[in-house]
Amino acid sequence: MLYAILCYHDEDTVGSWTKEQDAAVMQKLSVVQDKLAKQGRLGPVARLLPTTAATTLRKDDPPLVLDGPYAETKEQLLGFYVVDCKNLDEALDVARDLAAANPGGAYEIRPVGLLRPGSVPS
């Protein structure tokens, strides 16, 4: 089963990291990712730009375009992973590994219903 691991964190906090701190976190996360990739379990991974760069289209009639992210929350959706796991416990293990590499915030684990890997080059 494919699970999406959605990464939530306080964007102000992440934005306050120095370049070195940011690089150190990314380095630790890449260790976890490499392990999953070697096992053939890692799908698409994305780090999203700050929510200030976001635009929301509300599907009203006619659709309404709003500045900013859909949800105004204390913690923001900053990225996601797609990982192949047998069950929720295994997905939670992956999330725990990621959390150890990057403390603070939360991971939302959601089973994936449909995934089209697409073909855009990264």
Partner 1 sequence: MTDTAWIDGALTSARPQAVGALLRYFRDLDTAEEAFQNACLRALKSWPQNGPPRDPAAWLIMVGRNVAIDDIRRGKKQQPLPEEDAISDLDDAEEQLAERLDGSHYRDDILRLLFICCHPDLPATQQIALALRIVSGLTVKQIARAFLVSEAAMEQRITRAKGRVSDADVPFETPGAVERTDRLSAVAAMIYLIFNEGYSASGDTAEIRAPLCEEAIRLARLLLRLFQSEPEIMGLTALLLLQHARAAARFDSDGAVILLDDQDRSKWNKPLIAEGLALIDKAMRHRRSGPYQVQAAIAALHARAERPEDTDWTQIDLLYGALEIMQPSPVVTLNRAVAVSKVRGPEAGLDMIEPLAQRLSNYFHFFGVRGAFLMQLGRNDEARTAFDRAIALANTSAEAAHIRMHLDRLQRDSQPRGVKAGK
Q: Is 111 in the site for partner 1 (CB under 8 A)?
A: no
Q: Is 83 in the site for partner 1 (CB under 8 A)?
A: no
Considering only residues 43 to 62 of the shown chain, the ones binding partner 1 according to CB under 8 A are 49-53, 55
Is-contact 105 67, C-beta < 8 A?
A: no
For residues 85 and 96, what is the distance between their CA atoms, to the nearest angstrom? 14
Token pair, residue 47, equals 């780090």
Is-contact 71 57, C-beta < 8 A?
A: no
Minimum distance from residue 3 beta carbon to partner 1 (Å): 25
Q: Is the dihedral of CA 17, 71, 121, 90 positive or negative?
A: positive
Nearest to 117 by CA among 90, 93, 82: 82
Q: Is 67 in the site for partner 1 (CB under 8 A)?
A: yes
Minimum distance from residue 44 beta carbon to partner 1 (Å): 17
Q: Is 70 in the site for partner 1 (CB under 8 A)?
A: no
Q: Which residues bind partner 1 (CB under 8 A)?
A: 10-17, 19, 21, 24-25, 28, 49-53, 55, 65-68, 74, 103-104
